[in-house]
Chain A
Amino acid sequence: MQLTPRHRLLILAATLVGMGINRFGLAGAPMTTVAGFSYTQYREASDGIYVRSPLFWLLAPLGDAASVELSGTVDSLSGASPIYDYDRMSAASFKEHRKAADVKVTGYGENFDLGVKLALSSENDYKSTGVGIDGRLYLNNKNTVLNLGLGYASDNFDDYPLDIHGSIHSREVLLGITQELTPVDIVQSNLSYALDNGYLDDAHKFTLNALGFIRADQRPEVRHKWAWLTRYNHHFADWNASSHLDYRYYRDSWGIAAHTVEASWYQGIGEDWTVRPSLRFHSQSQADFYVSEITSPIPFDASLSSDYRISSFGAFTPGLKVVRKITDNLSLSLSGEYYKQDNDWYLGGEGNSNTPMEASIVTLGMEFVF
């Protein structure tokens, strides 16, 4: 992954933002450097995809009115991805690496902060460059925070064996509010809108019909996406515990509507241990052009896809995380989650994915405060 002149200009701009902001206050500036490392193993059932993902993360102050946040990962992927949404009878085997890194510089004023972010990722046939600007305004004795975020990503897909090439441009805006309600209650609500346009097909997926003929994945070149996320945290002082409850409603121009709920309970045990059970539920409807197989003639220029990811299904993800404070500076964590999709869990009736998938996710983590 090479830094182009445009990348260097963005990094310079981010640095200048951090240096130029009013230095009178520290609306949320970190005081110390924190570094983290995690290692995640993701494994799908039925000989699906296997991913090992080490991740490095760092947050450090730059003087007393700015900070820098870095992260980087190299995913090792292998296994088989279904070509047809048809009981996984056929699958494309692959083995590849995906590298990703991002850097964010934030400047802090007395009642606001402003950050600029650059994100890069690269894999065999896919490269992405993303930038974002994220501003926060603190009001009402800092009980209220207004957040405005703007993002842009430019992706390129180049599959030379298949001789398929395309690009995708994504623009996103987010407007949010965070409100402290009481000394033990805080809520956040974010509305986002994103527009993707370009090559949105999946070149590695096909739809089968009963006679064995296949059609390539073909999707609209434009996708409008809306998401409304609300998060609520409450602290139970007598129990040394906190609860998190998140709900997101999603809708897009492809016809997908989704509800996602996530609940977590952080239980402190003594001074050094935290145990966190969690449960996530997701239900989505299918895209308008999704079919599990072709059973009637479809015009050649019509959108068509059998990708299970845009079918209708529900999914539960129970999880458990344990955090152990080793010293005042070092903590270790171990978490396990099991993700399972099922047509019976779709809130709108019977889902129609022919290849509902399931996977285990295990993560070992470490955080060090300097």
Chain B
Amino acid sequence: MKISPISLGLALLLLTGCATVEPWERGYLARKDMQFDPDPMEPRVKQGIYNSKEGAAGGYGVGGGGCGCN
């Protein structure tokens, strides 16, 4: 599947023009269950398992080391 960088960039830029959420409206967004990783330990465990059992990885962050996982 080819992704046009231009169309992707335009789509992302359009997002920045979306309705503004005021600071006093952020109560729900600040909830633990609304964080992308509510449990910081969980992605360390799960992504390590998936990355060692599958041929795909990436997209979540940078700077982790590798392993000779079987």
Give residues in A with beta carbon < 8 Å to B: 36, 38, 40, 42, 49, 53, 55, 57, 59, 71, 73, 77, 81, 94, 98, 100, 102, 104, 117-121, 123, 125-126, 128-134, 139-144, 149-151, 153, 155, 157, 168, 170, 172-174, 177, 179-184, 186-192, 194, 204, 225-229, 231, 233, 235, 237, 241-242, 244, 248-252, 254, 256-258, 260, 266, 268, 274, 282, 284, 287, 309-310, 315, 333, 335, 339, 341, 357, 359, 361, 363, 365, 367
With A140-B20, A170-B66, A182-B21 as known contacts, state yes or no: A256 contacts B55, CB within 8 Å. yes
CB of B59 within 8 A of CB of A42, answer no
Is the Cβ of B66 less than 8 Å from the Cβ of A309?
no
Nearest-neighbour CB distance to chain A for B2, whole angstroms, equals 10
A interface: dominant SS: strand
Interface size of B as a range = 35 or more
- Are the C-beta atoms of A237 and B64 separated by less than 8 Å? no
CB-CB under 8 A from B55, the residues of chain A are 252, 254, 256, 258, 284, 287, 309-310
CB distance from A127 to the nearest CB of B (A): 9
CA distance A123 to B68 in the complex (A): 8
Chain B residues whose CB sits within 8 angstroms of the CB of A233 once the complex forms: 34, 36
Known: A282-B56, A309-B54. A365 touches B67 (CB 8 A): no
B62 at the interface (CB under 8 A from A): yes
* Cβ A248 vs Cβ B59 within 8 A: yes
Contact check: which of A229, A237, A359 meets B59 at CB < 8 Å?
A: A229
Task: Write 10 A-B pairs (CB below 8 A) sorted by A numbering.
Answer: A38-B45, A55-B41, A125-B68, A130-B65, A140-B16, A168-B66, A181-B19, A231-B36, A242-B31, A284-B55
CB neighbours (8 Å) of B28 from chain A are 183-184, 235, 237
Contact with A along B43-70 (1 / 0, CB 8 A): 0111001101111111111111111111
CA distance A235 to B33 in the complex (A): 9
17 extra A-B contacts, CB within 8 A, seeds A144-B16, A172-B58: A55-B44, A57-B44, A102-B65, A123-B68, A128-B66, A130-B65, A142-B23, A182-B19, A183-B29, A188-B36, A235-B29, A249-B1, A250-B58, A258-B56, A309-B55, A315-B54, A335-B42
Q: A38-B41, A231-B36, A242-B33 are in contact. Are A187 and B15 (CB under 8 A)?
A: yes
Residue of B nearest to A159 (CB): B68
CA distance A249 to B36 in the complex (A): 18
* Residue of B whose beta carbon sits closest to that of A203: B68
Can you list the 9 inter-chain pairs with the closest CB atoms, starting with the nearest? A132-B63, A229-B59, A151-B62, A126-B68, A227-B58, A130-B65, A128-B65, A258-B56, A149-B62
**A339 → chain B closest CB, angstroms:** 7
Contacts of A118 in B (CB 8 A): 63
Alpha-carbon distance between A128 and B68 when the two chains are bound, in angstroms: 9
C-alpha spacing A177/B42, complex, angstroms: 22
Give Cα A338–Cα B44 distance, bound, in whole angstroms: 17
A357 to chain B: closest residue by CB: B53
Q: Which residues of B contact A333 (CB under 8 A)?
A: 39
> A180-B29, A183-B25, A315-B54 are contacts. A129–B60 as well, Cβ < 8 Å?
no
Chain B residues near A258 (CB-CB < 8 A): 54-56
Residue of B nearest to A184 (CB): B28
Q: Find chain B residues with CB under 8 A from A266 CB.
A: 33, 38
- Asked if B3 and A123 make an inter-chain contact with CB atoms under 8 angstroms apart, the answer reads no
Q: Which residues of A contact B33 (CB under 8 A)?
A: 235, 241-242, 266, 268, 274
Task: Kindly report which residue of chain B lies nearest to residue A125, judged by CB atoms.
Answer: B68
A228: B residues at CB distance < 8 A: 3, 59
Q: Are A192 and B62 in contact, with the CB atoms below 8 A? A: yes
Query: How many whole Å from B42's CB to the nearest CB in chain A?
Result: 8
B18 at the interface (CB under 8 A from A): yes
Asked, given contacts A181-B19, A231-B36, A367-B39, whether A133 binds B45 with beta carbons under 8 Å apart, the answer is no
* A177 touching B12 in the complex, CB below 8 Å, given contacts A229-B60, A250-B58: yes
* Residues on A with beta carbons closer than 8 Å to the beta carbon of B70: 49, 77, 81, 94, 204
For A230, give the chain B residue with the smallest CB separation. Answer: B59
